[in-house]
Amino acid sequence: MKKLFFAISALLLIHTSFAQKRYFTKTGTVSFQAGTALEDIDGTNKSTTTVFDASSGQIEFSLLVKGFEFKSALMQEHFNENYMESDKYPKSIFKGKITNIDKVNFQKEGNYPVTVKGTLELHGVTKDVETNGTFKVAGEGVESVAEFVVTLEDYKIAIPGVVKDKISKTAKIKVNCNYAVLK
Amino acid sequence: MYAFLVIFFAAAGFGFYLYNKKPADVRKLSANYELSAASLLEDFNKDEKAATLKYLEKVIAVTGKVADIKVDASGQATVFLDSGDPLAGVTCSFYDEEAKSLAGVQKGSTVTIKGNCTGKLMDVVLNKCSINK
């Protein structure tokens, strides 16, 4: 009986270690809004690479700052040259952990609220970020949606006085990624 | 006085033009570089800084074998080109309007895609892509 119990628990253990999955995509979308009532300022990056581990909750995003697309040429130029200095700081990286990954059942379709804690590297400055988001489990895939606000000053992004009424002091960042199981 | 007014309106007009100018339509630009996915990746692997200086924000026509095509629910289309390296390729993010041009494209077929180079993460990334017929 004891032997049987050990055999079953060993099998269960093997089963759980096999269940450790990583989810991945190279086509995550990250967009930001930094406009005010006077002017809409937004950009979208559609080639964000991101991976998370379904058991530990470790999650990582990286994107190329030059990959943000704008509706105005001038906005894009100012974004890259004056604010983000994307020649000097070409990448932005978020590394963190989903603190309640154990509440997500990847076997069962549905929406799960998640909390993410980590550090965001932007414009050469690394700062702590914490936010809430949603994991939507559908079939083999997971869609993640999150939104958070960064203060531009924290990342040493300076806004010249002449445009300070047009550009918000904070940027709202939206993340939307469709993950597939990494094989 | 008239001359002053003319200059004033010309300057205002130019300012307005700049303010409203759309980003360049990469589909209408001719490629600065034409090369294979493998050699583009090789350039980045050899010296990422030098390759970034050379290719960043340039229009590139890259030819390679289609490893995968992904079109998501919002209609956003991305083509992954095989470079021969299993860990890295070329990610080509398409203009939304160009997604339909991918309908006849098969995995494994060889295509030439034109886009704007934004640098390298795991893959070399191009955005504002369209397929060269």
Asked if residue A151 lies in contact with residue A163, where contact means CB atoms within 8 angstroms, the answer is no
Interchain contact, B91 vs A76, CB within 8 Å: no
* Model confidence band, residue A61 (pLDDT cutoffs 50, 70, 90): very high
Above pLDDT 70, what percent of chain B?
99
Q: How many domains does chain A have?
A: 1
Interchain contact, A27 vs B78, CB within 8 Å: yes
Residue of A40, A42, A46, A70 to mutate, testing the B interface (most B Cβ within 10 Å of its Cβ): A46
CATH label of the domain that carries residue A58:
2.40.128.110
Q: Is residue A2 in a domain?
A: no
Q: Is residue B71 in a domain?
A: yes
Asked if residue A51 lies in contact with residue A180, where contact means CB atoms within 8 angstroms, the answer is no
Asked if residue A120 lies in contact with residue A89, where contact means CB atoms within 8 angstroms, the answer is no
CB burial string A48-73: b at 16+ within 10 A, e below: bbbbbbbeebbbebbbbbbbbbbebe
pLDDT reported for residue A9: 62
Say if residue B63's pLDDT is above 70: yes
* Model confidence band, residue B15 (pLDDT cutoffs 50, 70, 90): confident
* Model confidence band, residue B1 (pLDDT cutoffs 50, 70, 90): confident
Say if residue A3's pLDDT is above 70: no
Q: Is residue B107 in a domain?
A: yes
Task: Report helix, strand or coil for A108.
Answer: coil
Say if residue A132's pLDDT is above 60: yes
Alpha-carbon torsion angle B1, B6, B12, B16, nearest 10: 170
**Domain residue limits at A28:** 21-181
Per-residue pLDDT reduced to its tens digit, A138-174: 999 999 999 999 999 999 998 888 788 888 999 999 9
* Model confidence band, residue B62 (pLDDT cutoffs 50, 70, 90): very high
Interchain contact, A72 vs B23, CB within 8 Å: yes
The residue in chain B having the minimum alpha-carbon distance to the alpha carbon of residue A141 is B72
Say if residue A76's pLDDT is above 80: yes
Residues of chain A contacting residue B72, judged by C-beta atoms under 8 Å apart: 27, 178
Task: Give how far B83 is from chain A: nearest CA, Å.
Answer: 16
Q: Is residue A3 in a domain?
A: no
Q: Is residue A111 in a domain?
A: yes
Average pLDDT over residues A53-72: 95
Q: CB of B122 within 8 Å of any CB in chain A?
A: yes
Q: Is residue A107 in a domain?
A: yes
Task: Give how far A128 is from chain B: nearest CA, Å.
Answer: 22
CATH label of the domain that carries residue B61:
2.40.50.140
Task: Give how far A17 is from chain B: nearest CA, Å.
Answer: 24
pLDDT reported for residue A4: 64
- Cβ neighbours of residue A170 under 8 Å, at least 6 residues apart? A34, A149, A150, A151, A152
Residue of B125, B126, B128, B129 to mutate, testing the A interface (most A Cβ within 10 Å of its Cβ): B125
Task: Please provide the DSSP assignment of A13-38 as one string.
Answer: HHHHHHT--EEEEEEEEEEEEEE-SS
Q: Is residue A106 in a domain?
A: yes
Task: Report helix, strand or coil for A67.
Answer: helix
> If we measure between CA atoms, which residue out of A182, A160, A171 comes closest to residue A92?
A171
Say if residue B41's pLDDT is above 90: yes
Q: Is residue B5 in a domain?
A: no
Residue of A40, A66, A80 to mutate, testing the B interface (most B Cβ within 10 Å of its Cβ): A66
Q: Is residue A15 in a domain?
A: no
Q: Is residue B21 in a domain?
A: no
**Domain residue limits at B83:** 26-132
Instruction: Name the residue facing A64 among B20, B76, B121 (closest C-beta).
Output: B121
pLDDT reported for residue A7: 64
Say if residue A10's pLDDT is above 80: no
Task: Report helix, strand or coil for B86.
Answer: coil
* Model confidence band, residue A15 (pLDDT cutoffs 50, 70, 90): low
Q: How many domains does chain B have?
A: 1
Q: CB of B17 within 8 Å of any CB in chain A?
A: no
Alpha carbon A162 to chain centroid, angstroms: 32
Interchain contact, A69 vs B127, CB within 8 Å: yes
Q: Is residue A171 in a domain?
A: yes
pLDDT reported for residue A84: 95
Per-residue pLDDT reduced to its tens digit, A78-121: 999 999 999 999 999 999 999 999 999 999 999 999 999 999 99
Q: Is residue B7 in a domain?
A: no
User: Look-up: residue for tokens 């603190």?
Assistant: A99
